[in-house]
Each structure stands twice: as C-alpha cells, then as structure tokens.
C-alpha cells in the first residue's frame, strides 16, 4: 500500500529513492564533500552518510549562499540526492535544487520525521505537488 | 503567488530553458517568503563573480545560460583587477578562470564593470521608492537606507534571474511594513570618518537582521553612511537602517518609537581601534587597504590629498570601480605617484591576493569583519583616515 502526502512545490521534477533522514539543518558548503556526496562534518546528525541518490529529508538549509553552487557541483559529480524534502525550505537549498534539476518540496501535510524511516522507498513528485511512501 | 498568463508561460518553458529556470527561482523565493506576485525592477547587481567564491561549478552554470538581461545589470567585485592582475600576484590559472566567468556574464548582456558601489555608475542611479534586485550586502544597505530605494539582499542566482526576467518577487524590503524600525540605536558623542565603520561593526552584532533607527549627535556624510551600513551588513545582517533627520525615509515617514533601545558608548568604538582581529600576537601590519566599499570620487580625492608629496613605505591598496577611476585619471595619478596601487574591479575581501600577508590595516568595519575569516589574514582598524 502506498501513502500519498500533499506538499508544496519548490523545485519541479519527479524522482524516487531511499529515505535518508537528517534531524540537523544542512550547510552544503562545509558539511558535504562535493566530490563524494559524503557528509564530512563530525558534529552532524548524518556524519559519514552518503547522500547520493537518496531522498534527503532535513529541516532546512543554512550557511553560505555558495551552498547553492555546491549542490550543482554534487549533481555534476553524479553524487547528488535524487530529491530533497524540507520542513521549511530557504533560498540556498531552493536555488541550488532548481539550478541542479533536483526535485525539492517542503511543508508536507504529515511530519516527514514521523512518517518516514531511513531506507523507506519514497517517490517525490514535486511537479504534481505530492510525495508517495511506497510498499508499506 | 499570483502569476500573469505571460509569467505562467515562461514558467512552463515556452520562452526557453534559461528563462524557465530563472522564473522557477523567482517563484520559489516568492513562495518561501509569501510574495503576492512579481514586480518590475529598475536594475540588477549580481553577486557570485569571484572565481574564489563560485569555483568551476558556478562558472559552468553561468556558461550554460542563454539570452539577454532585460534591465541594466552589473557585477559584484571579482577576484582581481582585470588589467593589472599580474602585478597583484594572481596566478595565471586563476586569472584565466576569472576572465571566463566575466565573459560568460557579458554574453548575457551584463556589464563587466565589477563593483560593490553601482550607485556611482552611469545607468545605475536609483531614487527613493525604486525597486531593485541587488545582491552585494553593502550596496543593498546603501540602496535601501541612503537612497531609499527597495531591494532584498538577492543571492547570485536570484539576482541573475531577476535580471533575465526583469522582475523580482514582491516580499521583504519591497513592502512598507518590513521597512519599519524595530530597534533604536543612540550615540550621543560626536563621530567622524572611520568612527562610523567602527559603530557599524559594534551595532551590527547587536542588531542582527532587524531594522534600526539611529539617533546620532553628528550628521554623517553619504560616504560615512556607506561605511556604517557596510559594517552592519557584515558583522550583522542589516539590509536597511534609518538615521533620524538624515536618511530619506526617516525624513518622510513618521515611524513609531521602537520598544528596544541600544546605546553605544565611545569606549566600545575605542575597543575596535585597539584590537587585532584574527590573532593574539602583536603583529606588524605589512599592508594597508582602503576602498571597502569601493571609493567614491570624493574619497579618492581625499586620499590623493593625504598622499600628496609623500612616498609610501608599506604596500597601500586603494580599491574602486573602474568607471570612477577612469573618470578621474588625474586623481588616480596623484595617488599612484606615492607608490600606492589603485586597484579596480576587486577588493581586499574577494581577491586571493590578500592571502599570504602578515596583517592588514583597514579603515572599513566590513573589511575588519571579513578579512580575518575569509582571507585568513589578521586585520586591524585604523582611526581617522579622513
């Protein structure tokens, strides 16, 4: 059974992947290695995890606006997330997602940290304005 | 957010991929901040120019864009003087990438004049109430506060999107209700010259991203206001401030007195002058850099007067825009006769040429806030340049 959750569209697109939950906000400049997609900040909630091809769920972005270009670099290096889900998007991640063609949504009807577990298969249809939790 | 039929068409890609992306960025920002729609802008100023900042990823993204900007658009300072980069000690590999970035922007119809003071340039003047899409934090502060124009602090890609579309999302400082002061700052001793940068350095940390109303004992010049605003945008995130009896909106609009009141003492400013930021040791400064933000014609003239008949013993950089330097070749010549360098298109904060110095002396609260962290060079603040 799939569960469909309405959300707000920030960057259009459709993608599917396995969920990676990060309770911490993310600064793409500094927290993530743009060559490997691995989170390199030892103090971060998902330190050591690789964000490549994941449905990356985090509260919001933070830090330098150059972070938008780091997201673009991740995409060019084929190590970017498949899609991103925020509680509330802010401009750094929003702009980074748009220039990199990575679907981004926020303000889900249900709290993503309650409804998703790490490894869940999720489809983000940002163009359609919904997220689907598959195979439950 | 409401879009006209034409704007919807752009968002659906009917005018090509570049404009579709640009519109998607404007709409996303508008949605995030609750804008009701898009508004036309008079000009755009685009950050994300120095190769040091945006790297290969930024260069690639800009290079892939197509089309022409719809309003006069100009760039933030780059990592080097476009003509004298060799003299600055810039590596050829860096220079090549930097020139590629500028060329990519020029292809889109953007002026390659790189400056944080577009308001001194032909075609970029603004008046009270004009809507703009500027990105450099001191230019945003000057436009909002000293001119009374209206702009948010746009990121590089969003300013570029606004330039390509000719519009920006109507939120933040474009709206009356967000321009009301929420904190008073009182300074009851006389200030002059670099005191204003020191005041901004202190006040910015306390104000954060709020809108302050200053009550000052002295009347600042527009150059002094430039220094105050630049420092507050660097040590804090102040994009708009008012000065009672001085700035245009403070004169035109009756604002209620804010509940919170901050008083800044002379002793707090003196502390700024006494500390070397970024190092505990008693370092000897080996370079002096002025022109953050870029020098106005008046400031260049004052520097030329101070240097008249003198030879410098330490390296001295005077940063300004190329257009202002070209407008006053005699003043530039008088400055350079002392052995100083008048550098255009760049500054001590964004150029890699700053790195490797021992300690930099500055007269800018903004440079004091950024040079130690961004360039890893300790910085000290100098009193009373002019």
B31 touches chain A (CB under 8 A): yes
pLDDT at B386 over 50: no
Distance CA B379, CA B372 (A): 6
Q: What is the pLDDT of residue B181?
A: 98
Q: What is the pLDDT of residue A136?
A: 67
Mean pLDDT of chain A: 94
Give the residue among B194, B246, B254 at the shortest CA–CA distance from B217.
Answer: B246
Cβ contacts of A68 on chain B, cutoff 8 Å: 155-157
Q: Which residue of B has its CA nearest to A87?
A: B32
The reply to whether residue B24 touches residue A98, judged by beta carbons under 8 angstroms, is: yes
The residue-averaged pLDDT of B289-314 equals 96
- Helix (H) / strand (E) element for B161: namely helix B156-165
What strands lie across the sheet with A121-125, from one edge to the other?
A3-6, A130-133, A121-125, A14-21, A54-58, A83-86, A104-106, A8-11
Q: b or e along A34-49 (b: 16 or more beta carbons within 10 Å of the residue's beta carbon)?
A: beebebebeebebeeb
Question: Under DSSP, is residue B93 helix (H, G, I), strand (E, B) or coil?
Answer: helix
In this structure, of A35-39, B107-111, B308-312, B371-375, the range with the lowest mean pLDDT score is: B371-375
- Mutation for B interface: A8, A11, A94, most B CBs within 10 A: A94
How many Å lie between the alpha carbon of B155 and the closest alpha carbon of chain A?
7
Chains A and B: how many Cβ contacts under 8 Å?
61
Q: Which of B21, B32, B155 is nearest residue A68 as measured by Cβ atoms? A: B155
Mean pLDDT of chain B: 95
Cβ contacts of B58 on chain A, cutoff 8 Å: 69, 72
Q: What is the pLDDT of residue B374?
A: 85
| Residues B340, B295 contacting (CB under 8 angstroms) | no
How many Å lie between the alpha carbon of A29 and the closest alpha carbon of chain B?
11
pLDDT at B384 over 60: no
Q: What is the pLDDT of residue B276?
A: 86
Band (B55; pLDDT cuts 50, 70, 90) = confident
pLDDT at B280 over 70: no
| Residues B355, B377 contacting (CB under 8 angstroms) | yes
- What does the DSSP assignment read for A21-75? E-SS-B-HHHHB-TTT-BB--TTSTTTT-B-TTEEEEES-B-S-TTHHHHHHHHH
In this structure, of A48-62, A116-130, B331-345, B371-385, the range with the lowest mean pLDDT score is: B371-385
Band (A30; pLDDT cuts 50, 70, 90) = confident
Q: What is the pLDDT of residue B238?
A: 94
CATH of domain A3-133: 3.50.30.10
Band (B142; pLDDT cuts 50, 70, 90) = very high
Q: What is the pLDDT of residue B318?
A: 98
pLDDT at A111 over 60: yes
Band (A29; pLDDT cuts 50, 70, 90) = confident
pLDDT at B331 over 70: yes
pTM of the model: 0.92
| Residues A22, A50 contacting (CB under 8 angstroms) | no
Q: Which of A10, A73, A95 is nearest residue B158 as measured by Cβ atoms? A: A95
The reply to whether residue B25 touches residue A99, judged by beta carbons under 8 angstroms, is: yes
Q: What is the pLDDT of residue A63?
A: 81
What strands lie across the sheet with B276-277, from one edge to the other?
B276-277, B379-381, B360-362, B287-290, B315-320, B341-344
Q: What is the pLDDT of residue B385?
A: 52
Q: Which residue of A has its CA nearest to B49?
A: A66
Give the residue among A66, A21, A67, A77 at the shortest CA–CA distance from A45.
Answer: A21
Tokens of B270: 């003196």
Cβ contacts of B24 on chain A, cutoff 8 Å: 11-12, 98
DSSP B285: P
In this structure, of A60-64, B69-73, B115-119, the range with the lowest mean pLDDT score is: A60-64
Reported as a single tens digit per residue, the pLDDT across A75-95 is 999 999 999 999 999 998 999
B237 touches chain A (CB under 8 A): no
The residue-averaged pLDDT of A1-29 equals 95
Distance CA B245, CA B228 (A): 16
pLDDT at A11 over 80: yes
Q: What is the pLDDT of residue B278?
A: 84
Q: Which of B54, B56, B158 is nearest residue A91 as measured by Cβ atoms? A: B158
How many Å lie between the alpha carbon of A8 and the closest alpha carbon of chain B?
9
Cβ contacts of B31 on chain A, cutoff 8 Å: 8, 10
Q: Which residue of B has its CA nearest to A105?
A: B28
Reported as a single tens digit per residue, the pLDDT across B334-371 is 999 999 999 999 999 999 999 989 999 999 999 999 99
Positions of A annotated as catalytic residues are 64
Q: What is the pLDDT of residue B160?
A: 97
Dihedral sign, Cα of residue B262, residue B275, residue B287, residue A65: negative
Distance CA A81, CA A19 (A): 10
Give the residue among B138, B98, B214, B139 at the shortest CA–CA distance from B370.
Answer: B138
- What does the DSSP assignment read for B247-279? SHHHHHS-PPPPSEEEE--HHHHHHHHH-EET-
- What is the rounded radius of gyration, in angstroms, for the C-alpha atoms of chain B? 21
Domain ranges for chain A, please list them.
3-133
- Mutation for B interface: A72, A87, A107, most B CBs within 10 A: A72
Cβ contacts of B157 on chain A, cutoff 8 Å: 68, 95, 98-99
Which one has a higher pLDDT value, B284 or B210? B210
pLDDT at B48 over 70: yes
Which one has a higher pLDDT value, B44 or A90? B44
The residue-averaged pLDDT of B317-339 equals 98
Q: Which residue of B has its CA nearest to A72?
A: B57
Q: Which residue of B has its CA nearest to A75?
A: B57
DSSP B78: B
Q: What is the pLDDT of residue A5?
A: 98
The residue-averaged pLDDT of B232-259 equals 96
The separation between CA B158 and the C-alpha centre of its own chain, rounded to angstroms, equals 16
- Mutation for A interface: B57, B140, B162, most A CBs within 10 A: B57
């Amino acid at each position: 059974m799939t569960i469909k959750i309405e959300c707000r569209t920030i960057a259009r697109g459709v993608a599917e992947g396995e969920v990676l939950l990060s309770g911490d906000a993310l600064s793409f400049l500094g927290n993530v290695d743009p060559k490997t997609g691995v989170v390199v900040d030892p103090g971060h909630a998902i330190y050591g995890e690789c964000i490549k091809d994941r449905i990356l769920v985090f509260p919001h972005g933070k830090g330098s606006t150059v972070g938008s270009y780091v997201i673009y670099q991740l995409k060019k290096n084929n190590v970017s997330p498949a899609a991103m889900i925020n509680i509330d998007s802010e401009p750094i991640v929003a702009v980074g997602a748009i220039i990199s063609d990575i679907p981004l949504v926020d303000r889900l009807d249900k709290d993503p940290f309650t409804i998703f577990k790490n490894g869940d298969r999720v489809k983000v249809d940002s163009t359609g304005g919904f997220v689907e939790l598959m195979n439950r | 957010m409401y879009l006209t039929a034409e704007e919807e068409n752009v968002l659906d890609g009917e005018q090509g991929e570049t404009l579709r992306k640009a519109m998607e960025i404007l709409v996303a920002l508008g949605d995030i901040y609750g804008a009701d729609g898009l508004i036309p802008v008079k000009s755009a100023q685009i950050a994300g120019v120095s190769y040091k900042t945006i790297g290969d990823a930024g260069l690639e993204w800009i290079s892939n864009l197509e089309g022409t900007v719809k309003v006069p658009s100009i760039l933030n300072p780059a990592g080097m003087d476009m003509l004298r980069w060799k003299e600055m000690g810039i590596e050829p590999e860096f220079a090549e990438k930097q020139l590629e970035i500028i060329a990519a922007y020029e292809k889109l119809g953007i002026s390659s004049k790189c400056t944080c003071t577009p308001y001194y340039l032909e075609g970029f003047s603004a008046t009270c109430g004009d809507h703009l899409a500027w990105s450099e934090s001191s230019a945003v502060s000057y436009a909002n506060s000293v001119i009374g124009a209206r702009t948010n602090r746009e990121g590089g890609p969003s300013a570029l999107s606004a330039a390509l579309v000719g519009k920006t999302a109507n939120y933040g400082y474009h709206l009356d209700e967000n321009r009301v002061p929420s904190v008073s700052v009182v300074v009851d001793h006389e200030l002059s010259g670099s005191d204003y940068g020191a005041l901004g350095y202190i006040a910015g940390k306390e104000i954060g991203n709020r809108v302050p109303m200053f009550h000052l004992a002295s009347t600042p010049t527009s150059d002094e206001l430039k220094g105050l605003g630049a420092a507050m945008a660097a040590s804090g995130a102040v994009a708009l401030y008012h000065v009672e009896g001085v700035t245009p909106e403070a004169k035109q609009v009756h604002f209620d007195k804010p509940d919170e009141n901050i008083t800044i003492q002379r002793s707090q400013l003196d502390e700024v002058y006494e500390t070397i930021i970024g190092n505990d040791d008693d370092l000897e400064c080996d370079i002096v850099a002025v022109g953050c933000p870029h020098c106005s014609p008046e400031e260049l003239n004052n520097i030329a007067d101070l240097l008249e008949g003198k030879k410098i013993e330490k390296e001295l950089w005077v940063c300004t825009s190329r257009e202002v330097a070209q407008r006053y070749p005699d003043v530039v010549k008088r400055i350079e006769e002392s052995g100083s360098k008048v550098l255009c298109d760049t500054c001590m904060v964004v150029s890699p040429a700053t790195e490797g110095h021992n300690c930099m002396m500055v007269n800018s609260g903004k440079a004091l806030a950024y040079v130690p962290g961004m360039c890893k060079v300790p910085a000290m603040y100098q009193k009373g340049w002019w």
